[in-house]
Structure 1
Amino acid sequence: MILRGPEHFITLLVVPSFCEEQLIMTIETYDQALAFIHGRTKFKKIPTLKRMRRFLDELGSPDKRIKAIHIAGTNGKGSTLAFLRNILQEDGLKVGSFTSPFLIRFNERISVNGKPISDNDILRLTNIVYPVVAKLDDALLEGGPTEFEIITAMMFEYFSEGHADIVLVEVGLGGLLDSTNVMTPELSVITTIGWDHMHILGDTLPKIAYQKAGIIKPKVPVVVGKIPEAPLKVIEHTASGKKSPMTILGKQFTVNNLGMIDWEQHFSFKSDHDEFNDLSTGLIGDYQTDNAALAIQAYLNYCQLSSRPVNHNSVIAGIKQTKWGGRFERINDHPTIVIDGAHNISAVDEIVDLLESNFSKGKIYVLMGILADKQAEKMVEKMATVKNVSIILTSFNGPGKRNAADPQVLEEQVDSKERKKTVTDVIDDWQTAIDTIQKKLMTDDMLLITGSLYFISDVRKYLLASLN
């Protein structure tokens, strides 16, 4: 057998098996487990779910032993999941979550009631999947599972052990061919359709919608967010063909925004059978009330599917208590410093609306760090439409082989295209940029740090350490 992987951290034990010697591999520490996971290939040339299905079958099909709600969408997946998790927790359920990427530590990707699983569990799960990965490396022409497939398998394995009553599973990329899509959930949720990962998902919104709609399973209900007409038709067509009942934001249920007061968003929700007035959340922005409405409707649908009574107090308390790091998160009050992972043009559009509606007083310094494979120019140009914004571009270390957009080059591209000075400054080192901008902030000013979620992760760690 050909042994692949970082051999320097693998212990090889020789044990008898059917009168032959068999090599059993053991990963001994948490850091070695992460090195193995992150050392795997990220993508294959030909996307398929067959490899993931075989991987899970070799593990005993753990995905078939859990109850799950599947959440896809361009933006809003994480916030919707967080709202729904808190509602279900308030209802007395133990709620598992699978999310990506992480902000502080890898363990965040698999959590129970919002608490990441332990280092020991990561190590234990890695050792469970490792022999199967090695086997598939030998058996499959394209090689064994990718990094995300391995993490997904670890998640299914963990929750199949009975650690949660219901698992909220966030799609990694797209939906149709995402490794999470091997399961059949109790309920599906599609939050938004926007421009992101076009090189993989397609160059039109209907094409992207087709990929997201791939999570819809036969006769499994689906809750859908506020989506433009053309991509919505694709989702409706898919749901109709699979005889999956749909509830759509703006049709079967509605949300009414009541404004922001003291960094809390107030809103009301109404469906055919339920109504909630003056709900409030610390996740601000009209797009967050849409996400909250999706979570409420998903809860109502889940109650109906599982014959549970609807608890209005669970909804009110769950929405109010929801926090989601890196989503217009206020890190500091005086001066006001906010971070937001607006990592694509659709997310920037939402931030622009929020700034124009609620932050017209004072100056807003926007520090942007964007991945090179994103619509960097459009993101900067859109952010620059806010009248009281001053844009500073910076750099950061991108994940793996993905590089940050060069801030000097990006400035030249934007300014030459706009034929005006759009970018105020370029400061290559983001820590220096933060320190420089902080010294300029007046009472009513704000520093908004935004862009790649990987960038925001590093910034959050830095700020929480330096400001506390």
Structure 2
Amino acid sequence: MGATEEGNSQPLRSYAEAVDWINGLIPFGIRPGLERIERMLEMLGNPHRKLKFIHVAGTNGKGSSCAFLTSTLLRGGYSVGTFTSPYITKFTNRFQYNGEDIPENTLLGLSNRLYPLVEQITGTELGSPTMFEVSTALAILYYAEVCYPDVVVWETGLGGRMDVTNIVTPIVCLITNIGMDHTDILGDTIEQIASEKAGIIKPGVPVVSCAEQPEAIQVFKQTAAAKSSTLYLLGEEFSYERTGLNGAGQQFLFKGPFRELPIEITLQGEHQCKNAAGAMMVLEILRQYMAFVFEDEDILNGFKGAAWAGRLELVQDHPRVVLDGAHNPEGAETLARSIPEIYRYRHLNLMMGMLSNKHHRAYLEHILPIVDTLIVTEPDFRRKMDAEALAELVQQLREAKAKPTLELIVEPDWREALELLRLRTTQEDLGVVSGTLYLISDVRAALLHQTDSEKGW
């Protein structure tokens, strides 16, 4: 299908040029709506209609849930495409087949197929497709015309209803949870955000949700009823009971409508038990109603083997440094609860950097009570929040939320901030880096000496 051809007639001559071209569409921003992706896929013959998708939405936990699903499906003998964002290390991370990134040459070939279509659409009333729209089309082409997976684990970019990924009709949906994030686009109430996420629910397609707020649950029940979709809700149709916790991971008992199963995972934090339970319910639907066949041993090994970078990830032992991409209030609440439960330490030293489009007061209200030294810095990204502005917000909350002995350090250069964190963290202490995944990506690459890190949304 020409995915590796480069000839002189091709507008993009290298992998780097292809990535630069796609990222060059970022200034067109996040423009909710499906018109441009519909036009692109029509021009390609609607390749998405050949594929089976598991559509995953939610405020937090989408990436981890995709990791659980991918790992267990692979262990069960199925071929799996996994489309996620943002990526931590390299642009190709977002397009995976059986746990491996798309080859650079394949991405180049597919980009050259999309390039003239993007140019054509740009000249119409629709305007230029965005970076995420082109990435989504590229993923569909890759899975439908290059590698042909049995199933595609398909993560939403933002929201659900008007998200570009909503172009597909899945075989099952998973909505992990609902929280206050991207309120400038999705709405500033739980009901509004839940309504956007519920937009992925399709007529007759079963949906699993781990949402717990009554107002979100009400939205999902109403939407599922209107679409004649069966809703499997945490706490009603299925549940989990945490049974064990140690330095290597944790155990829980999954209780579903068809059976119970004890499961072990290595991802840390009680919230990962919830994410894993949601993924397990999805697998049970596939097994019970869609002729997917799984041996229990493969399911158990799949959950145990699932990993997800930048989520309560211990990346260094001397001193101990944990990375966690918590960047909204719900993420901060989970981090503040999980860190003291998992680790023993004398002082907690936290380095954080944020984007300017977020409301960080609630984040800080959750995290400040457990921190001894806070280093505020700036991610290497165009929409970064000024470190001084973040520090000013900390000062406003200091008296009510922080320890009286809190030491606040402002260091805009993230590399200098990381060096400060490492110098101040003794073997009895714990260093944590949190905030936007753009910061996590750079810090992770630096600590693990990864030279090919690209990072981005």
TM > 0.5 fold call: yes
Q: Deviations over 1:125-149 (max 9, x none)?
A: 10111111111112x2241311110
Q: Deviations over 1:143-190 (max 9, x none)?
A: 131111000000011111243111000000100011110110111110
The 1:423–1:201 alpha-carbon spacing in structure 2 relative to 1, beyond 3 Å, is: farther
Separation in structure 2 between the aligned mates of residue 11 and residue 158 of structure 1, nearest angstrom: 20
Q: Deviations over 1:30-85 (max 9, x none)?
A: 11111110111455686321221111101110111111100000000000000011
The residue correspondences of 1:128-207 to structure 2 (distance < 5 A) are 128-138=113-123, 140-161=124-145, 162-207=147-192
The residue correspondences of 1:244-283 to structure 2 (distance < 5 A) are 244-277=229-262, 279-283=263-267
Q: Provide the residue aligned with 1:392 in structure 2.
A: 375
TM-score (norm 1): 0.90
TM-score (norm 2): 0.92
Q: Provide the residue aligned with 2:110 in structure 1.
A: 125
Q: Provide the residue aligned with 2:385 in structure 1.
A: 405
Separation in structure 1 between the aligned mates of residue 361 and residue 387 of structure 2, nearest angstrom: 11
Separation in structure 2 between the aligned mates of residue 424 and residue 417 of structure 1, nearest angstrom: 12
Select between 44-53 and 54-63 the one with higher mean Cα deviation.
44-53
Q: Contact 2:422–2:431 (CA<8 Å) still a contact in 1?
A: yes
User: Aligned to 1:104, what secondary structure does the other structure show?
Assistant: coil
Gaps of 5+ in 2: 1-5, 452-457
Corresponding letter in the other structure for 2:19: L
Separation in structure 1 between the aligned mates of residue 219 and residue 91 of structure 2, nearest angstrom: 35
Q: Say which one has the larger Rg.
A: 1
Corresponding letter in the other structure for 2:418: I
Q: Is 1:338–2:322 an aligned residue pair?
A: yes
1:345 CA drift (Å): 1.2
Separation in structure 2 between the aligned mates of residue 417 and residue 384 of structure 1, nearest angstrom: 8
The residue correspondences of 1:43-442 to structure 2 (distance < 5 A) are 43=28, 47-138=32-123, 140-161=124-145, 162-277=147-262, 279-359=263-343, 361-386=345-370, 389-398=372-381, 401-402=382-383, 404-419=384-399, 424-442=408-426
Q: Contact 1:384–1:390 (CA<8 Å) still a contact in 2?
A: no
Corresponding letter in the other structure for 1:428: P
Q: Deviations over 1:235-290 (max 9, x none)?
A: 1111110000011111111111124212312212111222112x222210010010
1:346 CA drift (Å): 1.0
The 1:208–1:233 alpha-carbon spacing in structure 2 relative to 1, beyond 3 Å, is: same
User: Aligned to 2:241, what secondary structure does the other structure show?
Assistant: strand
Q: Contact 1:112–1:163 (CA<8 Å) still a contact in 2?
A: no
Select between 158-167 and 338-347 the one with higher mean Cα deviation.
158-167
Q: Provide the residue aligned with 1:19 in structure 2.
A: none
The residue correspondences of 1:440-459 to structure 2 (distance < 5 A) are 440-459=424-443
The 1:50–1:283 alpha-carbon spacing in structure 2 relative to 1, beyond 3 Å, is: same
Separation in structure 1 between the aligned mates of residue 320 and residue 393 of structure 2, nearest angstrom: 30
User: Aligned to 2:369, what secondary structure does the other structure show?
Assistant: coil
Separation in structure 2 between the aligned mates of residue 28 and residue 238 of structure 1, nearest angstrom: 47
Identity of aligned residues (%): 35
Separation in structure 2 between the aligned mates of residue 269 and residue 46 of structure 1, nearest angstrom: 39
Gaps of 5+ in 1: 1-9, 14-24
Q: Provide the residue aligned with 1:20 in structure 2.
A: none
Separation in structure 1 between the aligned mates of residue 27 and residue 200 of structure 2, nearest angstrom: 21
User: Aligned to 1:27, what secondary structure does the other structure show?
Assistant: coil
Select between 354-363 and 156-165 the one with higher mean Cα deviation.
354-363
1:389 CA drift (Å): 3.8
The 1:178–1:264 alpha-carbon spacing in structure 2 relative to 1, beyond 3 Å, is: same
The 1:307–1:63 alpha-carbon spacing in structure 2 relative to 1, beyond 3 Å, is: same
1:26 CA drift (Å): 2.4
Q: Provide the residue aligned with 1:7 in structure 2.
A: none
Q: Deviations over 1:355-405 (max 9, x none)?
A: 24333542111100111111223222321122x54321111212xx42x21
User: Aligned to 2:297, what secondary structure does the other structure show?
Assistant: helix
Q: What RMSD over aligned residues (CA atoms) do the two structures have, in Å?
A: 2.0
1:209 CA drift (Å): 0.4
Q: Provide the residue aligned with 2:3 in structure 1.
A: none
Q: Provide the residue aligned with 1:18 in structure 2.
A: none
Corresponding letter in the other structure for 1:457: S
Q: Deviations over 1:421-453 (max 9, x none)?
A: 756211222222222222222333111101001
Q: Contact 1:411–1:423 (CA<8 Å) still a contact in 2?
A: no
